[in-house]
Amino acid sequence: MNKKERIDAVLAGKSPDRTPFTFWYHFGNQFTSGEAYADTIIEFYKFFDLDLLKVMNDYHYPYPEGYDVVKDAEGLKKVGYVTPEDDTIIEQTKAIKKIVHAVGDEVYVIDTQFDPWQQLVRHVCGEYQYGLTQTCEKELLEALDRLGDFVVDYVKATVKAGAAGVFLAIQGSDELVPGGYETYLKFIKPQTIKILNAIKDVSKFNVLHICGQSIYTEGMEDYPVDVISYADRSETNPSLQEVKDKTGKIVMGGMDQLKVSRASLDALNENADIMLKECGKSKAIAAIGCSIPCENDTTVLKKMVEHIKNS
């Protein structure tokens, strides 16, 4: 099987010739142009020869005009829909287009995007965000809804540029969500479902990544998505098989991302062997549970990838 056939088999619930594998970095290239970033991703892909190319997205949602921080109702009213052609946002779309042109015939390329809650918490509202759920609930929900519209149109633009779909990352645990499950149900899950419903018919496939330890599993099956990704090797998270059984969906994971850095090839290969066992023979894409540091020894990582392919 080639790389696309391997992923197609997984998506169809069939057993591929071997379990497809991928991993990714935060490259920190957000200060460069999309075309320059694309060159880095293309070289990364060619060096490791991965079965699926997930492109990290470090270009952030822009601050509202006149604001360096949003921490009240008036600021939230300024948080608005931005077009995928915004000066900042367009760089990732340019990167996707160049990457797909270079390698898209041989491998599926999926972009990365963050749900509306994370779009704000990453910098626009930051530490003020949970307080806004208490003092400006109406304005916050309206801002999140506008951001949801932006994410939908953004994903459609990247699919038009050649992406097979999106890797949509959300926060889904008490560790990461102030206010816990109640905050998640009111401010995170509704927009996530809205986005996934709006893009499911335009993408080849989409991945939902649930960040955190002790992730919320109740209602996980509600998400209209093909693949669920999370750090399954965390002792407090469910196994891949448990999520397969609960949701009926394809899972992505198996590798403990915390045991990749400062590890010998023996340790990396052991990590990989556990990953493949956890994935099973079908309905799984082998991957890290979350991004790994980009300063890892690439020679050793490449040997690990070769080990995975030959296992």
* CATH number of the domain to which 283 belongs: 3.20.20.210
**135-152 pLDDT tens trace:** 999 999 999 999 999 999
Query: Which ranges of the chain have pLDDT less than 50?
Result: none
> Which one-letter amino acid corresponds to residue 79?
V
The pTM (predicted TM-score) of the whole model is 0.96
* Helix (H) or strand (E) run with residue 181 in it: helix 180-183
What's the pLDDT score for residue 293?
A: 86
Q: Given this model, what pLDDT does residue 30 score?
A: 86
Report how far residue 21's alpha carbon sits from residue 90's, in angstroms, rounded to the nearest whole number. Answer: 29
Confidence at residue 117, expressed as pLDDT on a 0 to 100 scale: 97
pLDDT computed for residue 83 by the predictor: 82
Q: Which domain range does residue 257 map to?
A: 3-310
Query: What is the structure's pLDDT at 223?
Result: 98
Say how many domains are in the chain: 1
Asked if 258 and 212 touch (Cβ cutoff 8 Å), the reply is no
Cα–Cα dist 156/150, whole Å: 10
Q: How far is the CA of 285 from the CAs of 61, 135, 138, 196, in angstroms?
A: 29, 42, 39, 20
Query: In whole angstroms, what is the distance from residue 117 CA to residue 306 CA?
Result: 38
